[in-house]
Amino acid sequence: MIKAGIIVFPGSNCDRDAEFALNSCGFETEYIWHDYDNILKYDFIFIPGGFSYGDYLRAGALAKFSPVMKHVEKFAIEKKGLIMGVCNGFQILTETGMLPGALSKNTSLKFICKDVDVNVESFETPFTKYIEKKKLRLPIAHSEGNFKIEKKDIELIKDKVAFKYVENPNGSYEDIAGIFNKNLNILGMMPHPERNSVKTLGNGDGAYIFLSIRRYLEDAKNN
């Protein structure tokens, strides 16, 4: 069974949603406290949403200094492991520099909580290879989800866009809802697939992403 580690910071509040979604999609899961270091034993690392360290200073700014994040970076580089950060998890990944760009306040200056449609922009990654639909309906819940990137860094996201909003809810550059790193083993996204992973929570579209990850990792283990 594919083993997923869910990182928990003080202030995380989507870790249980992630556990439910991953278990529903056939993963074995464990929580990883923010000062834990033995993460190379996992096949997949999930960084959930919430308000890590209260989002003081700005979202994700303090979480990047947590001891576990050094090991997350090691997991990505040495093991080439798959890492996924959702909402606050995405913000943390940009703060650490593991993903380019930054997440700023929504153009409305309001917290937005609703379901949105996103298009899958690439099916050539571990996270999306086995997704069976072009358009997914996923929940969003954020006040700082407006993806920004400096002109000098735009080349870094060329062909690395994971998802785009069908109707941009927050002002994100080029309607971007999620991006990959250059090696395609890190995904950051603002929508919450873990909140729509079974049909009792909506249409279950979020499960497509987790099932793609699981199938990719299973194939890698068997080859």
Whether 54 shows a pLDDT value over 70: the answer reads no
Report residue 97's pLDDT band, with 50, 70 and 90 as the boundaries.
Answer: very high
The total number of residues shown for the chain amounts to: 223
pLDDT digits (tens, 9 = 90+) for 172-217: 999 999 999 999 999 999 999 999 999 988 899 999 999 999 999 9
| CATH class for the domain made up of 3-222 | alpha beta
Q: Is 28 a catalytic residue?
A: no
Catalytic residue among 14, 71, 87, 95: 87
Q: Is 71 a catalytic residue?
A: no
Q: Is 25 a catalytic residue?
A: no
Whether 137 shows a pLDDT value over 90: the answer reads yes
* Strands of 55-173, DSSP E: 82-86, 102-104, 112-120, 135-142, 146-148, 161-165
Both structure tokens of 211: 């099932």
Residue 53 CB contacts under 8 Å (≥ 6 apart), including other chains: 9, 10, 11, 62, 63
Both structure tokens of 103: 């997440």
Q: Which helix (H) or strand (E) holds 73?
A: helix 67-77
Break the chain into its structural domains and give their ranges. 3-222
